[in-house]
Every structure is written in structure tokens, then in C-alpha cells.
Amino acid sequence: MTHCALKPVKTTTQWDIFCCVVDNYGDIGVTWRLAKQLTKEYQINITLWVDDLNSFSHILPPLDPSLNSQKHDGVRINLWSEPLPVNYNAADVVIEAFACNLPNAVVQAMHAQHEAHKQDTSVPKAPVWLNLEYLSAESWVEGCHGLPSMQNNGLKKYFYFPGFTGNTGGLICEKDTLDQRNVWQSNLDFRHQLFNKLGLNNIDDNDTVISVFSYETSALLRLCKLWMQSDNRIHALIPKGRSLNSLQSLLPCAINDLKVGQQVVHGNLTIHILPMTDQQSYDQLLWSCDVNIVRGEDSFLRAQWAGKPFVWHIYPQEDDYHLVKLAAFMDSYCDNLSPQASNIYRSLNIAFNKEQADTAAQEWQNLDLIQPEMSLHAQQWPIYILNDADLASRLVQFVKNS
Ligand code: TRH
């Protein structure tokens, strides 16, 4: 047998994505979405290594947290435990999400391949190693996106920064998302069916429906008190989770004792306790509401793709750094708005995040003044900001170029 005959012949591309769940659902939410898209749109073999399957199962209910390995939506999902439960073979591309530290076995396998390639260039090169960073609209991102960092062992790691401009890594949005949303929003039957599925059977078409997926803030309680006194009926759809911590004074029992499907009525406000759903149903919920209150990174983007007005509760960071990131996004989002709309929308978002409850309530009322402009802007924004190049397509190109 010749030396060449021993070499593995690869027919498909294998990418491994490593995700460490820090807290909440954002780390797994982003990596799961990307994994699904790369599988479906680029036919890449993806293995998603996740260190916390229990958290993952909240946004992927069919996932069985007791299994070390399983497949959903074409993606191989492996429990990432230390040491890795299998002998690791280097993939073609290795993505560490949000600077999670890769397992030693992975780094060693990449390094071994790097050394083997140096000896014999017909052996495949070391995998393309990327660190997928958090999303930010700050201007420095353009300068850092795609930079390589030379590691002590001779490997190169690239920093891949998502972002809102052409010189960044782009934004996660599947190719059919906006078309699917348009179909959904053009026929009220879809909304009715979803609401029925979620047990929301007393919502009239003229009622205002607001989805709420935030962290704790006194601004939310203040808004609920405002909504109670509204002239029309308002429905706040709230999954069991952190938002409710701010609303304890409005609830009939401890949060743990609330039942999914339970409704709490105060004046013209009905609070509906929702289950956590899979990502697709959550998208459909965002498409169906009049306003969405979202948070973090992934629901923040999905609210933009929903084409509806939204309030962003940004993930809090040390020294209030998140307020810098919030301002950077507001600069971008409000760039083409009239001064009045820009002022009201910025002020509402800042007040919500800084727990300036009365200002948030005042600016919420002011939304009425700018409603047509904000609705149009919310529709136009996704097309403008995606600029025909979502994150997955830019990522695939980036890997080809490396
Ligand atoms: O859960 P989050 O607060 O995640 C955060 C942020 O990503 C933050 O940037 C990060 O640093 C921190 O985690 C560790 O918010 P986010 O990003 O919106 O993620 C929520 C995910 O949950 C998202 O993928 C949407 C999904 N989801 C569902 O699939 N079903 C649901 O019912 C709901 C409410 C959410």
C-alpha cells in the first residue's frame, strides 16, 4: 500500500462549534441558530458541542439532556464534558463561541494536524480556528473583525466579529426568514393559530399585544401599571423567567407556582404566562405581536427581523459598559429617523435599561406620536442592515479566504 492510499479522503466539510453556557440562553441560542443555518443552507456537517444540555432543552424541547450525542435538524449535538467522551479528530473548521476555552484534546488534535502538514503538505492543513465574538454596533468592531492571533503552539486563531456594517462579520439571519415572516404577517390566520396553540384564546384583533422577554427592571413594572389604565385592552405575553421577577407585586402567587397558560388581569392589562418555545415558535410570536420587548443578543436580532417596533433590554455589563453598546446601536438604528422619533425611541430604550421608570412610561406614551414612522422604519431596517450578506454567508466566505 502506498503512503498516499492511507490518507483520509474527505467528501464533506466538517465544522465543530463549541459552546459553553455562561448564563441565560444567548450563548446556546446563537450557536444553535448558526449550526442549523450552516447545515441547511450550506450542507456543512456540523457538530455542536454544548456543556449544558438542560439549558439547551428550554429552547429545543425535543432535546434529551441525558444523551451524550443526538441529532436534531441535521446537527449532531454532543455533550461537551471534560475529558471529551470520544477520541477527537480535527474538523475542517473549529469555532469557539464567545471565547470559551477549547478542550485540550481539540487544541492538541489541531496542533498535531498542523505539524503533520508541515512534514507533508498533502496532509490537510490545521483547521481554520475562529473565535465567534459577541455582537456590538460599536465602530471599533470593523478594525478587529477577522484579525488573526498567533498562538504559542504555532496555530492561528481568527477573531470573527458579528456586526452591522459591511466590514464586520454580519448578522445571523437565515435566507428565508424575511419571506416567511411576510407570508405569516399577510394572513391573520397564522397568528390566530399560534395564539390558540399557546392557549391565548381571548385576544381580539384590535387589542394590543406585547411580548416581553427582558431581565429584571422596575421600568417593566411601571409600564405594566401604565398598560392597566390604557383605553384599549393590552396583553403582555411573558414566558416564565426573569421578567416576572420585576412583576411579583402584580402576581397572585410566587413565580414558581405560576402555571403556564395562567392569566392575570389588572384593569385593561392581561398578563399571560407563556411556556418557553423552540426558536421557530418564538420567531412566530415576535412576528405576531405589535411591540416586542427583547434582550441580550439573539432575541434582539429576531425582533429586528420581525419588522415590528421593539425595546431592547441589553445584557448588563460591568461599569455600565452595556450603555455604550446601547448608544452605538441607537446611533445606527435612529440614523434615518426624524429628530422627534429618534429622541423618543432612544430615550425610551435608555430609560428602560437605566430603570428610569417614569421616563420609560412617558416615552412609551409618546410612541403614539411616532407610530407610523417607527412601523415603517421597522419594516425597512432588516433589508437595509443585512445588505444581502448575512453572517453565515460571510462566515463561509471568510473560511474559504483563510
Ligand atoms: O438569554 P439571553 O439573555 O442571553 C444572553 C445574551 O446573549 C448575552 O449577550 C450573553 O452575554 C448572555 O446571554 C450570556 O438573551 P438572548 O441572546 O436573546 O437569547 C435568548 C435565546 O432564547 C434566543 O435564541 C431566543 C431563544 N428563545 C426561544 O427559543 N424560545 C423562547 O420562548 C424564548 C423566550 C427565547
Tell me the CA distances in angstroms from 43 to 90, 124, 126, 320, one per residue in order: 19, 20, 21, 41
Say how far apart CA 172 and CA 389 lie, in whole Å. Answer: 9
CA 25 / ligand 1 centre spacing (Å): 4
> If you take atom 1 of ligand 1, which residue's CA is the nearest one?
25
Q: Which of 61, 98, 135, 146 is nearest to 301 (CA)?
A: 135
Assess whether the C-beta atom of 24 lies below 6 angstroms from ligand 1.
yes
213 lines ligand 1 (CB under 6 A): yes
Mutate to test the pocket of ligand 1, among 56, 244, 280, 297 (most ligand atoms within 8 A of CB): 297
Q: Is 299 in the pocket of ligand 1 (CB under 6 A)?
A: yes
Does residue 96 carry a catalytic annotation? no
Distance from residue 300's CA to the centre of ligand 1 (Å): 8
DSSP assignments along 271-333, one per residue? EEEEPP--HHHHHHHHHHSSEEEEETTHHHHHHHHTTS-EEEEPPP-GGGHHHHHHHHHHHHH
Over residues 179-198, mean pLDDT: 97
Q: Is 56 in the pocket of ligand 1 (CB under 6 A)?
A: no
CA-CA-CA-CA dihedral for 194, 199, 201, 205, to nearest 10: -30
Point out the ligand 1 atom lying closest to the alpha carbon of residue 297: 17
CA of 279 to the centre of ligand 1 (A): 10
240: its cell numbers: 416564565
164 CA → ligand 1 middle, Å: 19
Q: Write out pLDDT tens, residues 346-368.
A: 999 999 999 999 999 999 999 99
Question: What is the spatial distance between Cα 46 and Cα 205, in angstroms, rounded to a whole number?
Answer: 42
**Ligand 1 geometric centre to CA of 121 (Å):** 43
Calpha distance 106→311 (Å, rounded): 40
- Residue bearing the CA closest to ligand 1, atom 18: 299
Closest ligand 1 atom to Cα of 279: 29
Catalytic residue among 297, 298, 363, 390: 297
114 C-alpha to center of ligand 1: Å? 36
Element counts in the chain: helices (H) and strands (E): 13, 14
Choice among 27, 51, 133, 174 that is catalytic: 27
| Mean pLDDT for the stretch of residues 269-294 | 98
**Overall pTM surpassing 0.85 (yes/no):** yes
Residue 191 grid coordinates? 397568528
Is 282's C-beta closer than 6 angstroms to any atom of ligand 1?
A: yes
pLDDT, tens digit, 9 for 90 and up, residues 150-170 = 998 999 999 999 999 999 999
- Residue 174 known to be catalytic: no
> Strand 291-295 and strand 156-160: pairing?
unpaired
Tens digits of per-residue pLDDT, 201-226?
Answer: 899 999 999 999 999 999 999 999 99
Check whether 82 has a pLDDT greater than 50. Answer: yes
Q: By the 8 A CB rule, do 242 and 277 touch?
A: no
pLDDT in tens, 93-145: 999 999 999 999 999 999 999 999 999 999 999 999 999 999 999 999 999 99
What are 119's three cell numbers? 512534514
Residue 22: partners with Cβ closer than 8 Å, 6 or more residues away: 98
Write down all domains in the chain, each with its CATH number in brackets: 4-170+388-401 (3.40.50), 177-386 (3.40.50)
Q: Ligand 1 atom closest to Cα of 285?
A: 32
| Residue ranges in 26-158 assigned as alpha helix (H) | 26-42, 53-59, 104-119, 140-144
Tell me how crowded residue 194 is: count the other CB atoms within 10 A of its CB: 17
What is the number of the ligand 1 atom nearest to the C-alpha of 294? 18
